[in-house]
Structure 1
Amino acid sequence: MVDIDDAGKAEVARPSESRRDPEWLRDRLSEWIKHHEGEDAAVTEVTIPESNGMSSETILAKARWGGVERDIVVRVAPQADSDPVFPSYNLDGQFRLIEYVRANCDIPLPTLWWSEPSDAALGAPFFVMDRVNGEVPPDVMPYNFGSWVSEATPEQRNQMMRDSVRVLAQIHAAPAPADLVSHPEPGETALAAHLRRLREFYDWAAEGRAGSPLIERAFAWAEENLPATEDAVLTWGDARIGNIMYRDFTPVAVLDWEMATVGPRELDIAWMIFLHRFFQDLAAMAGMDGLPDFLRRDDVATEYLQQTGYRPTDLDFYTTYAALIHAVIMFRIQCRAIHFGQAQEPADPDEMILHRPTLEAMLNGTYWGQVK
């Protein structure tokens, strides 16, 4: 059994506060919005959430233009001295991708206003969108440890599962854009390209330090067991309920598109399944019941089949691959924590992977047999 606080280890490198002063932000955003909407426009208030994103910064603001008071969200690229999670960021690309998805897909998305690709105004690129009212399943503490999700009825959670799978189905039905997401190289499948890019990201994250033997083993397993599929639909990438805002258990905003690409639809399906299993395994380690009846693998796959007519395949591979992706991201996040003195370098690099037992069991083919 682990201490319940271990559930927050993945968040240790998440910025607890902005490096930017709220009053400075308000003045700079006001000046910037006046340039776009005229002298009557203004930003009247800026709030920086206590828990911010690990890959970009979220700023909440109240603004006025066109005689209308508005609640807005400003997504700002990370500053170079924050040792960003990913080697590069393209917020303008995300902005244009969200516009594309809105035009080609019937899913709820925030209204977008502007994208600013230069760093002149705030010291980093950013984009502006409307703030949507709703609830997001929390990561800290995880929603299955006690939240509005765990307090819901089984029927409400089942509705939440169905509607969340519908989001995936609708994204996958949209035509993949030619220039807004990464595509495979000639002679390469989309899945092989995804694995190659993940390997490149891990090599960058591990440069100059001891790598993880478990991650290396998982890469070898993935290369050996890679399904021979030509499937290449638009995938959301970070397809988890923690990136969906809900109202009455129905999605009202689909957020965070930085991991979008083309690939097999199972990438999204398995990611949604695995991220719940990640939290569920943490609950079990902490001696808690969690939500074992929520987002079960067979339920999600069956719901996807009913909605689309497509039966997800090779889910043993894709859920294990999802665990590998998550391991690489967690490894990078812990590297940041070590860099900022928030954590010590472990003697065993595999200790940087909180779901180490899960990934090991998946690689051994024993994980799903023990899941009730």
Structure 2
Amino acid sequence: MTEELRTSTRDLDELRHRLDAWLRRRIGTPVAVSELSRPSSNGMSSETLFFTVSLQGRHGRCVARLAPSAEAVPVFPSYDLRAQFEIMRLAREKAGVPAPRTLWFEPDPAPLGTPFFVMERLDGQVPPDVLPYTFEGWLLDAAPARRRALQDATVGIVAALHDAPFTADDLGVLGRGGLRAHMDAQRAYYTWAHGERPIPLLERAFDWLEAHWPGDPGPDVLSWGDARIGNVVYDDFTPVGVLDWEMAAVGPRELDLAWMIFLHRFFRDLTEALNMPGIPGFMERDAVCQKYRELTGYTPKNMDFYELYAALRHGIIMARVWQRRIHFGEQPRPDDPDDLVLHRPTLERMLRG
């Protein structure tokens, strides 16, 4: 987990020149793009670029999100950057969620080789994925009360998003909603990512979910999709930025809650496997759901189902990421395809109940 995961095959110097030329045309006045770099601690799907824009003596720090090129073995089959751009804007305007301010969307692939959008860059701290925050760093070192404040504030983001007054027209950019549509999309994604080399453990998880389908999945809301602390920028343990909206969808409230709980469990399990304590008592189901209930009046239901669904979804994604590493020669292909699921022991225990 200490190695940087490759997300791009594009040359940074070439990208800087092309981004500079695009921005000059877009703004219609001389600008300069400098300090172009990629993040190293988070993000494994879309390509992310950090850069500074200088205009008439003023400097602005920006972030560009690009769909990955085909030769980079994309994690997802498609990247609707326009939908991400619009949902970030709506989350900020209608839910008060501190999503970064969106600046420009470029649908034409010609300037950088793929569509992209640009947003403001926010200052603060993000719990890292590499090396995971459960191993070291500011969150692990914090007092339990401060971690609890961060946890409650993050649940508050999800609560505000779910309770916001979005209209059907607002969310139309995301397509059909509901748990069944969400699951159908995951099956299609699994087939695209792993159809040539099926992963039996993930197929067993699909079967379990069908056998335990909720009688009432609950009301549909705007789901952030990748709701986890590793996608939040914090300033003094307070959220100031909510990132990564590419998995946004319309579906039950529990999708985000279960994803938030399971993704911490994933990092906790990695830590405990090395006989390290991680962060005991953090992001546990009862506390997360209790805080959500206090904020919204809604009691989360069927959480065993939704947490296993989160484990399945994460398994599909991470197995695809591991296939990318195999493609780039960063690791060998395992003999057992189930070993592509990094949380295999956890998912197997969940399936056993």
Which category of TM-score, normalised to the shorter sequence, fits these structures? over 0.9
Q: In structure 1, what is the Cα distance between the partners aligned to 2:55 and 2:213? A: 52
Cα gap change, 1:264 to 1:52, in 2 (>3 Å): closer
Deviations 1:76-103 (A, max 9, x none): 1101111101111111221122112222
Q: In structure 2, what is the Cα distance between the partners aligned to 1:109 and 1:214? A: 35
1:241 paired to 2:229: yes
Report if aligned partners of 2:220, 2:252 keep a CA contact under 8 Å in 1.
yes
Residue 185 of structure 2 corresponds to 197
Deviations 1:333-358 (A, max 9, x none): 12222222222222211111111111
- SS for the counterpart of 1:208 is coil
Q: In structure 1, what is the Cα distance between the partners aligned to 2:188 and 2:11? A: 35
Gaps of 5+ in 2: none
**Residue of structure 2 aligned with 1:179, choices 160, 168, 172:** 172
Deviations 1:132-151 (A, max 9, x none): 00000011111011110011
Residue 327 of structure 2 corresponds to 339
Gaps of 5+ in 1: 1-6, 185-189, 366-372
Report if aligned partners of 2:85, 2:105 keep a CA contact under 8 Å in 1.
yes
Matched AA of 2:262: F
1:109-120 to 2 correspondence within 5 Å? 109-120=99-110
1:149-164 to 2 correspondence within 5 Å? 149-164=139-154
Q: In structure 2, what is the Cα distance between the partners aligned to 1:88 and 1:104? A: 27
Matched AA of 1:220: D
Report if aligned partners of 1:15, 1:51 keep a CA contact under 8 Å in 2.
no
TM-score (norm 1): 0.90
Residue 115 of structure 2 corresponds to 125
1:279 paired to 2:267: yes
- SS for the counterpart of 1:64 is strand
Q: In structure 2, what is the Cα distance between the partners aligned to 1:178 and 1:255? A: 18
Report which stretch shifted further, 222-231 or 242-251: 222-231
Q: In structure 2, what is the Cα distance between the partners aligned to 1:50 and 1:162? A: 27
Report if aligned partners of 1:113, 1:129 keep a CA contact under 8 Å in 2.
yes
Report which stretch shifted further, 57-66 or 240-249: 57-66
Cα gap change, 1:106 to 1:343, in 2 (>3 Å): same
Q: In structure 2, what is the Cα distance between the partners aligned to 1:28 and 1:283? A: 42
Cα gap change, 1:267 to 1:52, in 2 (>3 Å): closer
Report if aligned partners of 2:35, 2:52 keep a CA contact under 8 Å in 1.
yes
1:254-273 to 2 correspondence within 5 Å? 254-273=242-261
**Residue of structure 1 aligned with 2:309, choices 321, 335, 338:** 321
Q: In structure 2, what is the Cα distance between the partners aligned to 1:223 and 1:66? A: 59
Percent identity, aligned pairs only, is 49
Residue 294 of structure 1 corresponds to 282
- SS for the counterpart of 2:206 is helix
- SS for the counterpart of 1:258 is coil
Question: How far apart are residue 326 of structure 1 and its match?
Answer: 0.9
- SS for the counterpart of 1:121 is coil
Q: In structure 2, what is the Cα distance between the partners aligned to 1:276 and 1:343? A: 25
Q: In structure 2, what is the Cα distance between the partners aligned to 1:50 and 1:336? A: 17
Matched AA of 1:205: A
- SS for the counterpart of 1:63 is strand
Question: How far apart are residue 66 of structure 1 and its match?
Answer: 5.6
Question: How far apart are residue 230 of structure 1 and its match?
Answer: 4.3
Report if aligned partners of 2:150, 2:238 keep a CA contact under 8 Å in 1.
yes
Report if aligned partners of 1:15, 1:53 keep a CA contact under 8 Å in 2.
no
Q: In structure 2, what is the Cα distance between the partners aligned to 1:206 and 1:21? A: 29
Q: In structure 2, what is the Cα distance between the partners aligned to 1:21 and 1:208? A: 31
Report if aligned partners of 1:77, 1:125 keep a CA contact under 8 Å in 2.
yes
Report if aligned partners of 2:50, 2:61 keep a CA contact under 8 Å in 1.
yes
Q: In structure 2, what is the Cα distance between the partners aligned to 1:48 and 1:319? A: 32
Report if aligned partners of 2:89, 2:101 keep a CA contact under 8 Å in 1.
no
**Residue of structure 1 aligned with 2:30, choices 34, 40, 59:** 40
Report which stretch shifted further, 352-361 or 45-54: 45-54
Residue 208 of structure 2 corresponds to 221
Residue 139 of structure 1 corresponds to 129
Question: How far apart are residue 330 of structure 1 and its match?
Answer: 1.5
TM-score (norm 2): 0.94
Deviations 1:245-271 (A, max 9, x none): 100000000000000001110110011
Residue 4 of structure 1 corresponds to none
Deviations 1:91-143 (A, max 9, x none): 12211221122221111121211011111111111111111000000111110
